Structure 1
Amino acid sequence: MKDVKTFLTEQNLTVSKILLGTLLAYIIYLLIKFILYVHRLRKVFGDVPGPEKHWLYGNLHLLPSTNSHDRIMFGVSNCNTYIRYYVWWTTFAKTSLTVCHPETVKIVMKTSEPKPTGFMGIYRFGLPWLGEGLLIAGGKKWARSRRLLTPAFHFDILKPYMAVYNDAADTLVGNLRRYAEKREKFEVFDYISRVTLDVILRCAFSYHTDCQKEQGVRHPYVKAVEEIADEWNYRARKPWLYPDWIYFLTDRGRKFKRNCDYVHGVAEDVINQRKEALERSGKSDRKYLDFLDILLTARDDNNQGLTPLEIRNEVDTFMFEGHDTTASATSWILYSLAKHPEYQKKCQEEIDQLLQGRDTDDIEWSDIPKLEYLTMCIKEGMRDHSPVPFIQREFTHDFELDGKTFPAGTTVSLHIFGLHHNKHVWENPMEFIPERFTKDNIAKMDTFQFVPFSAGPRNCIGQHFAMNEEKVILSKLLRRYWFELDESHIVRRKVGAVMRAENGIYMYVTPRDV
């Protein structure tokens, strides 16, 4: 019996040694693989121009810690120094190529390469919020969704939305009246975010709320989206928060999850109400009136529709992109016009002439191309304050940039704000000059010189929707009010998933006699 026990003990020890040896061998294998990976990174990117790096934390120590305005301007400085592209080391083991010139941006944007969602990919941090909606999805999933959703933005679908744009803008004009009467300042982003949320809910989802009437406190959905987007950017700059099991144990991680749960609840309420309406009205011979109709009824080549989760992901994506980025663009354009009264006056003269003799201020579909100077100011505003400051792609194949070959798996950051302020691309890029966008000047531009909506196959699917909305809202506001900045308030950019103002933008309004 003793011999049997001794034998079993020896066998157990042998098995333990084998398991321990296997584990040790696997750890050594991973370590060697990691060392080879780092060596390969240094070999590939070692001679690529870029800021001087630290051996451990790369270039992170160079980022100004004071505020995001200084950080985005630091990026512009790099773009002006390296002109076409440069390498940025997030740590000693993570790099991205930053492109900031039309010729290098073109190489990336002409492809449909996916967004990076791996462990160190910044779009992974948006997955709990937006899932694999059109913004984040890649490959066949993105191509399928893009194909299914494109009909929602056909001109025949967009035309009826003009009535919603006008009505929502009228509500905003009315809301600002009390500030004009009392000569009180108001915060621009708050009010513009409410009107763009109102528009996207009504146009895309046939969903009516009182989001513009609830004044005095920030709308909870607008607040939640802003906090989620800010947290996304914050986490991307903190490599020690990349592991989910660490991040979601922190107070910030728990708050991020609560906000995601809230916006998901809003999206599901929108979807459920629309499903009930579709069931009541019947589906046969139904004309598609909005984006959600198409989400609920679209079928691919295999007659497969979108799953409930896919539908919610797209609703979350379009509620974000349809209100937040448009609010950013419109707010900054209004800021630029208030800062440059000579351009504000020119826009008002154009709008007054267009509406002369009419008994309504409504902007019609046929009026849109006639707002030429306002359009120039809108484009210059989106150049100077790019609503989406940067995006990323991850190449699935080897590619060439300025004669150098980069391997599959390379992350490329498209610094849109840097491109739009690159002094080697634009003359006097820090100045607000609407005349850059005259028809003659546009004809001379590189297609990839001005890309506020991205460009190429992964461009913004809703860009015409957004531009038309901005033109109507701004026309209504400029028709009725004169805008002046609160000179006592310093406006600084706050960079995240979208461009905001660090402490808001405050203005005064004066009624116009029209």
Structure 2
Amino acid sequence: MEMSWFHSFSPTTFVLVVIVIVLLYLYSTWTFSTFKNMGVRGPTPWPFIGSMLEYRKGMVIKDLEWSKKYGKVFGIYEGRSPMLLVTDPEMCKQICVKHFSSFRNRKAIPLRSKPMSSGLFQLADSRWKVTRNTLIPSFSGSKMRLMSPLISRCADELIKNMEAHCKEGKTVQCKELFGGYVVDSIASVGFGMDVSSQTQPEHPFVEHAKVAFTFGVFSPAFAIVFFFPFLVPLLNYFEIPLLPKKTVDYFAQVVEEAIKLRKSDECASQRVDFLQLMINAHDVYDEYVKNKEDEEDRDEGVNRVEFIKDGAHSPVNLSKGLSKDEMLAQSIVFFIAGYETTNTTMSFVCYNLATNPETQVKLQREIDEVMRNYDDVGYEAVSKMKYLDMVVSETLRIFPPPSRFNRECNQDVNINGINIPKGMTVSVSPYVIHHDPDNYPDPEKFIPERFTKEEKEKRHPYAWIPFGAGPRNCIGMRFALIEAKIGLVRVLQKFTFEPCAETEIPPVFGKQLILSPPNGIKLSVKLRA
């Protein structure tokens, strides 16, 4: 009875089934000799899933294990796609800086859904360079000085919320409180918007940012891209997005409304924020499309070189126009990437201070001393706080937001004796580099003094890479740091953090690409005496 289904197969059907199974197996394992032929060690992959089943323990945990077992350069498979994983500072420098021309681009997700296909992470070659050069002036030191009062103002509500928790004796969920502050800061400084998410914790802005962050990693489209890349053309044909359409539409509406308000304000063109630079660049693009007669040039947007103004006086040379999709994509990326990474970093800083009370006291003393000379917490005051910088730098060493960043090889190249073929993805693990005892003795210990000037000079310059490395590093690094530091200083002026019964020691990591605690960071907070 049990075998009746087997006998129901005709010989022809049985042969076809066997052929299909064999072909699927061959397809799924065809690339698995890549690293053996390159002389690179690594874990044995499984058909279809490659090395990814091992990530059930968590990406950073497994990368650390593999590095100890196979060395500082080893090969893994994302599905059937070979990826060279690098955990050596010098090789990171070779790939991201010295041989940048061979590794210009990130590995793009091959979905053409608009507008995210026009995001800075997805753009390649000259189009990436054009877009990045357009946005860079938003994050200069002079802009940070202008933005710091707005950022500090967003911390006012954060302080009120902290005080309420103190009065009620509540445990503080750091990610929730800091998340509201970060959202308000990004909206205010980047787009001139008043979101007030700290007084409205269920604000749709926050909810959609969370959805976008989690959905992109766990969506069916993401799984198909990695495990069944031959189905990607089908996804593109049906225009299946990586992010939910509802979330993309929400952010699109937010940005559209901000642009309309900005264009209706005659003085708005003098602003120097992220949104205004994109509006200026979009105006250049529109003018180009209107005036160009050649249809092919209009479609491709080639050679659109113009001169745009960053504010009233400072010119930005050789900036080119941004299309509407490119504007929207950069806005969404700015919202999403800035929300999770800065929020998590601030939470981890407070965790480190709570579990290292002597460090917290030392930092508070520095803050008190520096602030005797300043009326407000701003760019100048924060830049004087050397110990604060050490605390934040050491936190980013232990808990770097991206557990990996990648580059795609665009031509055959030999790096440190390894022949890397064109088309191969190379991934660098900041977490493993930061936790390598060759770079940092007792790597699990929180020791801010590792980042004195003298100690930094002893180490390889690429032994600390929480924001990536080379020309494609994080464009928002300056903003993220000043935003985090201002918020932390404002909080530490009035409060002290302590562990509580709900504090996870050590923190539990999620299994996403961004190093983030799924349960948040829960601490006790008290008013300073």
TM-score, length-normalised on structure 2? 0.80
| 1:295 pairs with one of 274, 278, 302 | 278
Identify the range of structure 1 (234-243 vs 168-177) with the bigger mean alpha-carbon deviation.
Answer: 234-243
**How far apart, in 1, do the equivalents of 2:127 and 2:52 lie?**
34
Partner Cα separation in structure 2 for residue 185 and residue 245 of structure 1:
49
Whole-angstrom distance in 2 between the partners of 1:437 and 1:127: 43
The gaps in structure 2 that reach 5 residues or longer are 1-19, 285-303, 308-319
1:94 to 69, 76, 81: 81
Kept in 2, the 8 Å contact 1:229–1:496? The answer is: no
3-state SS, counterpart of residue 305 of structure 2? coil
- Report SS of the residue matched to 1:98: strand
- Identify the residue that residue 496 of structure 1 maps to in structure 2: 512
Deviations 1:121-160 (A, max 9, x none): xx34796673322222111110110111112222222211
User: 1:197-216 residue pairs with structure 2 within 5 A?
Assistant: 197-215=183-201
Aligned to 2:291: none
Task: Find out whether 1:329 has 2:345 as its counterpart.
Answer: yes
Q: Distance in 2 between matches of 1:474 and 1:488?
A: 22
- Whether contact under 8 Å (1:393, 1:411) holds in the other structure is yes
CA contact (8 A) 1:296 1:305 kept: no
Gaps of 5+ in 1: 1-26, 118-122
Question: For the residues of structure 1 that align with 2:331 and 2:28, how far apart are their CA atoms?
Answer: 43
**Residues in 2 aligned to 1:97 and 1:256: alpha-carbon distance in whole angstroms:** 25
Contact kept? 1:79, 1:419, Cα under 8 Å: no
1:382 positional shift: 0.6
2:502 is paired with a residue of what secondary structure?
A: coil
Match of 2:266 among 263, 273, 281: 281
Aligned pair 1:59/2:47, yes or no? no
Task: For 1:28-427, list aligned pairs within 5 A.
Answer: 38=31, 41=34, 44-45=37-38, 47-54=39-46, 57-63=49-55, 65=56, 68=58, 71-91=59-79, 93-110=80-97, 111=100, 113-117=104-108, 123-124=109-110, 130-215=116-201, 217=202, 219-234=203-218, 239-240=226-227, 243=231, 257-258=243-244, 260-281=245-266, 286-298=269-281, 299=284, 301-302=305-306, 305-356=321-372, 360=375, 362-427=376-441
Aligned mates of 2:223, 2:500 — CA distance in 1: 32
Alpha-carbon separation, structure 2, partners of 1:182 and 1:503: 22
Amino acid at match of 1:493: F
Q: Is the 8 A contact 2:35 2:41 kept in 1?
A: no
Distance across 1 between alignment mates of 2:511 and 2:428? 15
Partners of 1:263 and 1:368 lie apart in 2 by 35
Distance in 1, Cα, partners of 2:84 & 2:234: 28
Name the aligned partner's letter for residue 113 of structure 1: R
Counterpart contact for 1:494–1:501, Cα < 8 Å: yes
Structure 2 CA distance for aligned equivalents of residues 326 and 428 of structure 1: 26
Aligned residues: 463
**Shift in CA distance, 441/168, structure 1 to aligned 2, threshold 3 Å:** same
Write the distance in 2 (CA, Å) between the matches of 1:131 and 1:334. Answer: 36
Describe the superposition over 1:339-385 as per-residue Cα deviations: whole angstroms up to 9, x where unpaired: 21111111111111112376x5x213321221111110100001111
Tell me which moved more, 219-228 or 198-207.
219-228
Is this contact kept in 1: 2:111–2:242, CA < 8 A? no
Indicate if the aligned counterparts of 2:182 and 2:343 stay in contact, CA closer than 8 A. yes
Q: Which moved more, 1:434-443 or 1:491-500?
A: 491-500
Shift in Å at residue 485 of structure 1? 2.3
Q: Is the 8 A contact 1:188 1:507 kept in 2?
A: yes
Q: In 2, distance between residues paired with 1:193 and 1:287?
A: 29
Q: Is the 8 A contact 1:398 1:405 kept in 2?
A: yes
Partners in 2 of 1:172 and 1:51 — Cα distance?
46
2:113–2:242 Cα contact (<8 Å) kept: no
- After alignment, is 337-346 or 320-329 more displaced? 320-329
CA–CA separation in structure 2 for the residues paired with 1:36 and 1:508: 51
1:36 offset after TM fit, Å? 11
TM-score by length of structure 1 reads 0.82
Cα offset, 1:338, TM superposition: 1.3
Post-superposition CA distance 1:437-476 (Å, at most 9, x none): 0111112222211011112111112211111111111111
Q: Is the 8 A contact 1:87 1:97 kept in 2?
A: yes
Structure 2 distance, partners of 1:467, 1:402, is 33
* Residue 451 to residue 366, structure 1, CA distance change in 2 (3 Å): same
Q: Distance in 2 between matches of 1:453 and 1:395?
A: 20
Amino acid at match of 1:38: T
Q: Secondary structure at the match of 1:509?
A: strand
2:152–2:486: 8 Å Cα contact kept in structure 1? Answer: yes
Q: Take 2:49 and 2:121, find their aligned partners in 1: how far apart are those partners?
A: 29
